[in-house]
C-alpha cells in the first residue's frame, strides 16, 4: 500500500488517506508563495489575489494537505475544540444532549472534548483543568455543581455556556429549562384528571432542578386548593432504584394516594416496577407521570405520560450559543417551554 507508481489519479485522496504529512510549508513551496499567504487563504485573514488563491487551493487539494490543529493551537491560540463537561457520558438524558452538541459543533469544524464530572464539584474542577490545559476555545457545562462564582471566573478566561441555571455574566450564556413550569404542568394534569392524593418522588435537593420541580408540584397543588402533604413526598436520587424504593416506602406508610408524579423518568420506571410488584396496575389503580421524556418512555409499559424536555435541542442550542460567543456575537436562543406528553400511564380517577 505504499504510494508507489499508481499514485496518479487521486494523489490527494491517497495522501490524505495514507496520512502522509503534508505541511503548509510544502504547499507554499509547491506553488511558489510564502507560507503566510497559504495561511491567510486558509483562514481568510486577508485578501489575496485570485490567481494565487487558486493555485494554492489546487496545491492543497493535490497534496491532500490537512492543517495540523495542534500546531494551529500552539501558534494561534485557537484549537477549534470546545470542552464539554457532562456528568456521566452514559446518562440517558444527557447523552442525547451530547449528541446535539456534537452535531452542531462538528458542522462548524469544531471538535467536542467530553469529560464527566460525575456530579462531583471536585471532579468537575479537575475536568475543567484538563480542558483548560488542552486549550479548548470554550466550554459547555451541563448542569454542574460548580458555584456561580467559579463559573463567572471561568468565563473571564474563555466563553462558557452553562445549562440548568440562570446566570448572567460577561462571556457567559446560561440556558435554563423551566423546571418549575414542567412540574406544575405534570401535577396539573393529574389534578385535572380528578386526582387529589398525588405523591411526589423528588430528586436530590442539591440539584437545583429538583428543587424547582418540587416547587412546581406545590404550586399546582396550591392553585387547585389541595393541601400539600409532606407525607406524600418521597426523596429519591434520580435513579430507577430510588424510585422503586420510594414507592415501597410510600405503600408501607399506608398514606393513601391515587397518583404519583416522579421528578424524572428513570425514577418513574422504578416506581412502575414497584407498583407492579405490589399488584397495583398503572394506570388503572395508580396514575403515573414522569419528567424528561427519555427515549425509553415511549416504549415502557404502559407508555409513560411525562414532561417533554428537549435534550437534543438543549445540546444543539448550547453548541450554537457557544459558537456565537466564540464569534463575538451575543446568543439569544432559549429552550422550548415544557410540554406534557400524555400517554398511557395516567387516567381519570374512577
Partner DNA sequence: TTGTAGGCGTTATCAC
Partner DNA sequence: GTGATAACGCCTACAA
Cell, residue 95: 447523552
- ∠ CA 309-315-321, nearest 5°, is 120
Contact between 11 and a second copy per CB under 8 A: no
Instruction: State which H helix or E strand residue 161 sits in.
Output: strand 160-163
Among the residue ranges 9-17, 75-83, 246-254, 302-310, the one whose residues contact DNA (CB under 7 A)? 75-83
Q: Who's near 251: CB < 8 A, 6+ residues apart?
A: 274, 278, 280
What is the C-alpha separation between 162 and 143, in angstroms, rounded? 7
Helix axes 265-277, 240-252, angle to 10 degrees: 50
What is the C-alpha separation between 27 and 243, in angstroms, rounded? 61
Count residues binding a second copy (CB under 8 A).
Answer: 58
Which CB atom, from 81 or from 179, has the smaller least distance to a second copy?
81
Contact 170, 154 (CB under 8 A): no
The one of a second copy, DNA, none whose footprint includes residue 35, by CB under 5 to 8 A per kind, is DNA
What is the C-alpha separation between 251 and 122, in angstroms, rounded? 38
Contact between 185 and a second copy per CB under 8 A: no
The one of a second copy, DNA, none whose footprint includes residue 210, by CB under 5 to 8 A per kind, is none
Contact between 45 and a second copy per CB under 8 A: no
The one of DNA, a second copy, none whose footprint includes residue 106, by CB under 5 to 8 A per kind, is a second copy
Contact between 302 and DNA per CB under 7 A: no
Contact between 135 and a second copy per CB under 8 A: yes
Q: Omega before 302 cis (within 30°)?
A: yes
Cell, residue 128: 475543567
Q: What is the contact mask toward DNA in residues 23 to 62, using x (rule: CB under 7 A)?
A: xxx------xxxxxx-xx-xx-xxxxx-xx----------
Contact 291, 307 (CB under 8 A): yes
Contact between 79 and DNA per CB under 7 A: no
Which CB atom, from 145 or from 184, has the smaller least distance to a second copy?
145
Among 11, 35, 95, 235, the residue binding a second copy under the rule CB under 8 A is 95
Contacting residues toward a second copy, per CB under 8 A:
1, 16-19, 66-71, 73-74, 79, 81, 88-92, 95-96, 98-99, 102, 106, 111-116, 125, 129-130, 132-135, 153, 156-157, 240-241, 244, 269-270, 272-273, 276, 295-296, 298-303
Amino acid at each position: 500500500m505504499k504510494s508507489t507508481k499508481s499514485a496518479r489519479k487521486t494523489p490527494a485522496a491517497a495522501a490524505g488517506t495514507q496520512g502522509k504529512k503534508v505541511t503548509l510549508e510544502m504547499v507554499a513551496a509547491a506553488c511558489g508563495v510564502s507560507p503566510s499567504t497559504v495561511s491567510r487563504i486558509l483562514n481568510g485573514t486577508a485578501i489575496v489575489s485570485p490567481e494565487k488563491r487558486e493555485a494554492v487551493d489546487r496545491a492543497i487539494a493535490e497534496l491532500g494537505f490537512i492543517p495540523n490543529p495542534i500546531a494551529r493551537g500552539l501558534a494561534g491560540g485557537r484549537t477549534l475544540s470546545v470542552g464539554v463537561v457532562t456528568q456521566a457520558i452514559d446518562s440517558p438524558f444527557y447523552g442525547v444532549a451530547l449528541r446535539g452538541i456534537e452535531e452542531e459543533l462538528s458542522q462548524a469544524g469544531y471538535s467536542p472534548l467530553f469529560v464527566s464530572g460525575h456530579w462531583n464539584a471536585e471532579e468537575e474542577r479537575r475536568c475543567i483543568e484538563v480542558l483548560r490545559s488542552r486549550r479548548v476555545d470554550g466550554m459547555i457545562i451541563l448542569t454542574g455543581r460548580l458555584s456561580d462564582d467559579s463559573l463567572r471566573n471561568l468565563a473571564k478566561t474563555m466563553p462558557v455556556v452553562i445549562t440548568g441555571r440562570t446566570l448572567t455574566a460577561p462571556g457567559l450564556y446560561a440556558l435554563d429549562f423551566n423546571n418549575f413550569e414542567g412540574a406544575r404542568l405534570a401535577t396539573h394534569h393529574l389534578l385535572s384528571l380528578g386526582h387529589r392524593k398525588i405523591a411526589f418522588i423528588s430528586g436530590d435537593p442539591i440539584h437545583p432542578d429538583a428543587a424547582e420541580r418540587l416547587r412546581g408540584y406545590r404550586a399546582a397543588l396550591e392553585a387547585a386548593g389541595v393541601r400539600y402533604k409532606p407525607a406524600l413526598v418521597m426523596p429519591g436520587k434520580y435513579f430507577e432504584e430510588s424510585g422503586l424504593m420510594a414507592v415501597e416506602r410510600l405503600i408501607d406508610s399506608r398514606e393513601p394516594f391515587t397518583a404519583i408524579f416522579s421528578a424524572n423518568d428513570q425514577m418513574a420506571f422504578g416506581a412502575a416496577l414497584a407498583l407492579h410488584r405490589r399488584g397495583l396496575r398503572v394506570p388503572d389503580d395508580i396514575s403515573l407521570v414522569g419528567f424528561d421524556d427519555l427515549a425509553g418512555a415511549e416504549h415502557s409499559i404502559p407508555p409513560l405520560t411525562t414532561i417533554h424536555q428537549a435534550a437534543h435541542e438543549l445540546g444543539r442550542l448550547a453548541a450554537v450559543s457557544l459558537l456565537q460567543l466564540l464569534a463575538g456575537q451575543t446568543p439569544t436562543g432559549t429552550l422550548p417551554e415544557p410540554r406534557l406528553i400524555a400517554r398511557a400511564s395516567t387516567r381519570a380517577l374512577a
